[in-house]
């Protein structure tokens, strides 16, 4: 029973903790973030397997994590409230060429991030060329450019 409980606790703990870090955490993985992820996985491994190095223990932990993920995906599909809580919702951060500063500040995004995305996706150079920018659930910024008309 313990490996199942350990896996459920670690899954929910990581889910909650990563949700608290905000959308941009995943989109901006720096070298330090990468090292941090490795350290987290190392610490998590200890919590998951405790002192039991048997194959059956690993199989139980892995199956529990995957089984939970399937259950979560079904819950998200069925209940939009669960989907919002677990996966967040997109946020409009530039409306009709006008950056919404207070929202951007709250999400720790600045105009340079929007212009980065605008350059990469559409080769745009200035904010006036951006009609809308949306901070997506995965932390990436989508740009809808102004039409030529």
> Which residues would be at the binding site for another protein (CB under 8 A)?
1-4, 51-57, 59-60, 63-64, 66-67, 70-71
Cα 85 from chain centroid (whole Å): 12
Q: Give the shortest CB-139-to-another protein separation in angstroms.
A: 28
Q: Rounded distance, CA 109 to CA 102, Å?
A: 10
* Vertex 105: Cα angle to 101 and 108 (nearest 5): 135
Nearer to another protein, 47 or 89 (CB): 47
- How many residues does this entry show for the chain? 149
CB of 42 to another protein, least distance (A): 21
Question: Min. distance of Cβ 67 from another protein in angstroms?
Answer: 4
CA–CA gap between residue 86 and residue 83 (Å, rounded): 5
Pick 2 or 105: Cβ nearer another protein: 2
Shortest distance in whole angstroms from residue 12 CB to another protein = 15
Q: Is residue 24 within 8 Å of 107, Cβ to Cβ? A: yes
Please compute Rg for the chain using Cα positions: 20
Nearest distance from residue 98's CB to another protein, in Å? 44
Strand partners, 143: 133
Instruction: Name the burial class of residue 141, with classes exposed (0-12), middle (13-18) and buried (19+) by CB atoms within 10 angstroms of its CB.
Output: buried
């Amino acid at each position: 029973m313990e490996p199942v409980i350990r896996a459920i606790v670690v899954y929910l703990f990581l889910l909650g903790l990563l949700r608290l870090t905000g959308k941009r955490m995943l989109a901006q993985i720096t070298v330090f973030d990468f090292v941090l992820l490795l350290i987290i996985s190392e610490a998590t491994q200890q919590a998951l397997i405790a002192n039991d190095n048997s194959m059956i223990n690993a199989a139980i932990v892995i199956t529990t994590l995957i089984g939970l993920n399937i259950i979560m995906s079904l819950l998200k599909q069925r209940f939009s409230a669960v989907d919002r809580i677990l996966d967040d919702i997109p946020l409009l951060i530039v409306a009709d060429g006008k950056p919404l500063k207070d929202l951007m500040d709250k999400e720790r995004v600045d105009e340079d991030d929007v212009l980065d995305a605008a350059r990469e996706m559409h080769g745009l150079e200035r904010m006036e060329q951006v009609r809308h920018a949306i901070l997506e659930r995965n932390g990436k910024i989508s740009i809808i450019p102004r039409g030529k008309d």
